[in-house]
Amino acid sequence: MTYNILIIGQSGRLQYEAIMFLASLRQSAPDFNGQVFVAEPQHNERWTQNPAITDPDIRALIKALGGKITPFENKHFGEYYPYGNKIEALSVLPEGEPFVFFDTDTLITGDLDSVPFDFNRPSASLKVEGTWPVIELYGPGYTATWKSLYDTFKLDFESSLDVSQPDEYWRRYLYFNAGYFYYKCPKAFGDRFLNYALTIRDDGPKEIICQALNPWLDQVALPLVIHSFGGGRDALEAGHLDGAVSCHYRLLPLLYARESDAAIETLETAIAPNKIKKTVKAYEPIRRMVYQKRGAKVRALFDQNNLPRKEQQIRNTIKRAGFWMR
């Protein structure tokens, strides 16, 4: 089945990550025949600096790699909450055509045609930590917090639970990383995603009054949207996305610290051609980590068979060695 891909592209780090995403896609999935939309936020009152991609060489390279740079206006989010781009950018996609959204800090490492998407049943990334809600002493627990949100949108709460997990343990409750998600129609998904996110932000239930919504708002709304469309945690067979076919690396030092040899090789070979190298080497983390081999020094800090359990420990180790960049 043909489907579209959506990523965000804007000035700064994301414009270089967009090039790395597209280069890895063309290398690892040369037969992919859908359109890759690179959604570009436009400068308006919601941004103090212009978020658009202004470098003509970067724009040309994105287009040469098959990316369709498509502008959109932030009407509800913007600089104060850039994660909202993934919600508002869904408006650029053709209505009624299946889509997959990927965070721009992702590499395609395998054949996308091998992923058994059922676009009638949406899902999202399970490569997630229990970041929200943060349970306070004497405050609402996980059940009360999440049930209040399901009740707000008149959704069935019980059917969202993973009853193999204990009560009041975060994995019992439907929660995703918004690093990828998909559905059969971007308009239906995007309209509901925006509606739920704005309601949670502006008129949420009393149970979430003490909860931080920045930067978690998109990941609070996402499971509710997915559940409302009949999707869930089991909608996509494990091992493809966030597995053999894609790698959500987040930042280059973390890629070298903890991701697979195959993911690193994919990146290094995908951006080796001179036409790519001459553009992306302007971005210091790529120049130092990839081309000047600092990434190999980061990788040497860790035993790949015994990585620290928490990401913060990995970050601290890299920082102590003086290799942290973003």
Return the ∠ at Cα 36 (arms to 35 and 39), rounded to 5°. Answer: 125
Residue environment code for 221-256, b if the CB has 16+ CB neighbours within 10 A, otherwise e: bbbbbbbbbebbbebbeeebbbeebbbbbbbbbbbb
Q: What pLDDT score was predicted for residue 300?
A: 98
Q: What pLDDT score was predicted for residue 222?
A: 98
- Residue 95 CB burial class (10 angstroms; 0-12, 13-18, ≥19): exposed
Q: What pLDDT score was predicted for residue 230?
A: 98
108, 21 Cβ separation under 8 angstroms:
yes
Q: Hey, what CATH topology would domain 4-128+173-228 get?
A: Spore Coat Polysaccharide Biosynthesis Protein SpsA; Chain A (3.90.550)
SS (H, E, C) 99-128: EEEECCCEEECCCHHHCCCCCCCCEEECCC
Per residue in 13-69, pLDDT tens?
A: 999 999 999 999 999 999 999 999 999 999 999 999 999 999 999 999 999 999 999
Per residue in 87-120, pLDDT tens?
A: 999 999 999 999 999 999 999 999 999 999 999 9
pTM above 0.85, yes or no: yes
In this prediction, residues 291-309 reach a mean pLDDT of: 97
Q: What pLDDT score was predicted for residue 133?
A: 98
Q: What pLDDT score was predicted for residue 7?
A: 98
Distance CA 270, CA 25 (A): 9
Question: Domain coordinates of the chain in residue numbers?
Answer: 4-128+173-228, 250-320
Distance CA 257, CA 138 (A): 39
197, 218 Cβ separation under 8 angstroms:
yes
In this prediction, residues 225-236 reach a mean pLDDT of: 98
Distance CA 94, CA 123 (A): 20
Would you place residue 1 in the very low, low, confident or very high pLDDT band (cuts 50, 70, 90)?
Answer: confident
Mean pLDDT of all residues belonging to the chain:
97
